[in-house]
Chains A and B, each alone.
Chain A
Amino acid sequence: MSAPSTRGETRLVPDRLQGRAERLLKSWEALLLAVAIAIFALNVWSSPYFLDPWNLSDATFNFTEKGLIAFALALVIVSGEIDLSVAAILALSSTLMGLAMSHGAGTPEIVAIGLLTGLACGAINGMLVSGLGLPSIVVTIGTMSLFRGIAFIILGDKAFTGYPVDFAWFGQGYVWWVFSFELLLFVVAAILFAVLLHATSFGRMVYAIGNNAVAAQFSGIRVERVKFLLFLLSGLMSGLAAVCLTSRLGSTRPSIATGWELEAVTMAVLGGINILGGSGRIGGVVLAALIMGMVTFGFGLLNVPGIVMSIFVGLLLILVIALPKLIGRLGRAKRKA
């Protein structure tokens, strides 16, 4: 085919306007990195124990498991949906792992049951959301109660303890020096999810759905299938987090990981994932996980009570989200003046 001959000249539209460096500098991630460095410096200045390698290594446990959940949740949120049942899935997975252990299951079986429970719970969410077309916020608030309720029925006020010794490695093992298995898992998961969201056609479809599900469907994308897969993935990552947390604690109570769904959502939103769907990057979620982990740890070293900690995280979230708007408003006001 040749170009239409309505006009004499054919102009080529350039690929990009901004250079790569300029885009990076203006990004949300740059802002988060600055915040992360500031908090790191503050921690170093306020506590002499902060820079100790083993202390820092301990600090990573504050965000590794939540981070695993937040990565998958980030994809769900980018697609315009939400999964509030992640912590309940973790609790149910952990409970069923304990149940299997109490019936004599070995480490491989326990891990498999944890992951499969996560997948099954994710499949239930996915079927309700994409099969029946129900709003995910309602569905996952429902399954949040359902899954944790089952855990409570199984366990009551008791706890499962006495996991096999080799099972402890997932949550307590170190790969090399101060680097734990969980940290390695966090890094690998971060890379995999970043690749999935930013470099594959699946990731592109997730963005398209989150921006305009109707137009995505009209573009030949199987919207419901993509959403189902995302809930499946979210369930699987909650199951994986259940393996890590159960292994690290060495016990299961039905109240395990209470409130983690909100921390995971906070991590994703702080990381620049648009809560309305359609935009955000995994790099931002990684930085948000680091920030939240460092804040928790720093406050812990200073013996700050947990409630102050949650006040701080709440303020941080509002501040970081309000900041770009405030800067934009200031900029406009200056231009007018």
Chain B
Amino acid sequence: MTHLSFPASSPGPAADMPADRPVIRLAGIAKTFPGVRALGGVELSLHAGSVTALIGENGAGKSTLVKILTGIYQPDEGHIEMDGAPVRFPTTMDAARAGVTAIHQETVLFDELSVAENIFLGHQPRNRFGLIDWARMNADARALLDRIGARMDPAMRLRDLGIANRHLVAIARALSIDARVVIMDEPTAALSHKEIGELYDLVERLKAEGKAILFISHKFDEIFRIADRYTVFRDGEMVGAGLLAETSQNDLVRLMVGRDVGQVFPKVAADIGEPVLTVAGYCHPTEFEDIGFELRRGEILGFYGLIGAGRSEVMQALFGVTRPSKGAVRIDGEVAVIRTPAEAVARGIVYVPEDRGRQGAITAMPIVSNVTLPSLSRTSRRGFIRMAEEFALARDYTARLDLRAAALDQPVGTLSGGNQQKVVIAKWLATRPKVIILDEPTKGIDIGSKAAVHAFMSELAGQGLSVIMVSSEIPEIMGMSDRVIVMREGRIAGRFDREGLTPEMLVRAAAGIGEAA
């Protein structure tokens, strides 16, 4: 491993590198999934010793691009060049061999293995008998860790490490394959302030070593602090690129959201009535603090924020999944203590979770059983299930949501994502709730189902149901919500009315950019 001898503090070669010769270049990349065009005509160049920030809303196609760069997805169109020569990454191993590596938020690491084993998994140094050379592996691991300024014992079990140190292990692993292109996907999302500072130092060091870095982030302050170039994605297309020194936060925000959002989502004007749900001084030891809001009859209240801002955590506490430490919840003016989801459902609060496959639907069970699961007391007499009533209930609510399925006894897992979501929503509507909380209701579902879900949400609000919609998609938030609450780092960072709301206002509040910026 020759690169181990590279002095960590050498002056950056970035200045000497010819700026017009990228290490890796993507040209005309397109990728389509059933029903969704994830990427189209994408151009991206990464240069040695330079940090390129990739900016875009959730769903803009950033993760798809990362997966194409690392060999997880194959592009439908376009090609990748390294040093001017076309390359293909049919597998993740091919990408790694070419020197492209990614550090995700959830990089796959192994809890029960040691730090050194995690770093060298798949390419462990061998001795002459073909067995793992532990001494060399530990020594190499220590050298790598020293290089990135991580002070830990390579023999430690990974599960004894905190999240920040795990991150460093992931980075050391990336370096162990002698990467030339390092992709960092929201690397600071889970880190503390001090750890973030250390990560910035590390990025500087990687830059000095001449790596080409793609840095994905939602945080504008950090982008301006460490990146040299930027590329902005919107709806799977590149809408702008250049040098950060020649742009401003305002320009980037405009590029990110620039779209007329008023017409896409059909929010029907509804009569907004008396308060149904009132939350005050709501706190959680680690996830959120001092959350207070009011939800009225017939209202759609949008919750916007970056991933990790604590929106889902607030909703799960309201639904009784986690316990808040402080705060009062009132339903129809009465104090409500909700300790379990069962109590929430009994009080008329239901929750459509973001993680459909794990928390929302029981995918191995038929559509009909999924729909009736929280309503079993209604479809049964003295505890005995009435099949005819079950099917009647399921038929009724799935038809309202325009569910596309072969039969109601079909397992939910065989449906498309959009139709699975319709089953989960139908399940909750069948309980005739007062408040329905939808957590990223249209994430990962096709456009047709999206329209059906939106139309239905709007219709429900018109009939007097109160809706909380957690969404990271600005057009959805702007199109559907009567009012919007923006959360940042566990607190409410802004409250907005539908009238006069602009995407820029949301992005600023979520990212913590002051008006003067």
Interface residues of A (CB under 8 A from B): 1, 3-7, 10-18, 195, 199-205, 207-208, 211-212, 214-222, 278-279
Contacts and interface: CB of A to CB of B under 8 A. Distances in A.
A208 B368 contact: no
Contact of A202 (B359, B383, B431): B383
Contact of B376 (A3, A201, A212): A201
Contact of A16 (B383, B407, B459): B407
B362 A7 contact: no
Residue from B362, B377, B402, B451 having most chain A Cβ neighbours under 10 A: B362
B463 interface: yes
Contacts of B409: 15-18
B403 A215 contact: no
Given A6-B451, A13-B408, A15-B409, A200 B369 contact: no
A4 B403 CA distance: 12
B114 interface: no
A321 B447 CA distance: 42
B400 A1 contact: yes
B494 interface: no
A320 to B, nearest CB: 21
Contacts, number: 128
A2 to B, nearest CB: 8
Given A12-B395, A219-B341, A6 B455 contact: yes
A214 B385 contact: no
B402 A6 contact: yes
Nearest to B456: A4
Interface in B416-454: 427, 431, 451-452
Interface of B: 319, 321, 340-342, 344-346, 351, 353, 358-365, 367-369, 373-374, 376-377, 379-380, 383-385, 391, 395, 398-410, 427, 431, 451-452, 455-456, 459, 463
B41 to A, nearest CB: 30
A215 B359 contact: yes
Nearest to B316: A218
A52 B401 CA distance: 62
Contacts of B399: 3, 10-13
Nearest to A12: B399
Given A13-B395, A13-B406, A201-B377, 19 more contacts: A5-B455, A6-B451, A6-B452, A7-B402, A11-B404, A13-B399, A13-B403, A13-B404, A18-B409, A199-B385, A211-B365, A212-B358, A212-B364, A215-B358, A216-B362, A218-B321, A218-B341, A219-B427, A279-B364
Please name the 6 residue pairs, one residue from A and one from B, whose CB atoms are nearest each other, closest first.
A201-B376, A220-B345, A17-B407, A220-B342, A6-B455, A219-B373
Nearest to A195: B384
A3 B405 CA distance: 17
Nearest to B465: A1
A43 B383 CA distance: 42
A325 to B, nearest CB: 17
B384 A204 contact: no
Given A200-B385, A218-B341, A15 B455 contact: no
A221 B459 CA distance: 28
Contacts of B345: 220
Contacts of A279: 364
Nearest to B460: A1
10 contacts: A1-B400, A11-B402, A15-B395, A15-B409, A199-B385, A201-B380, A207-B365, A214-B359, A218-B360, A220-B342
Contacts of B410: 17
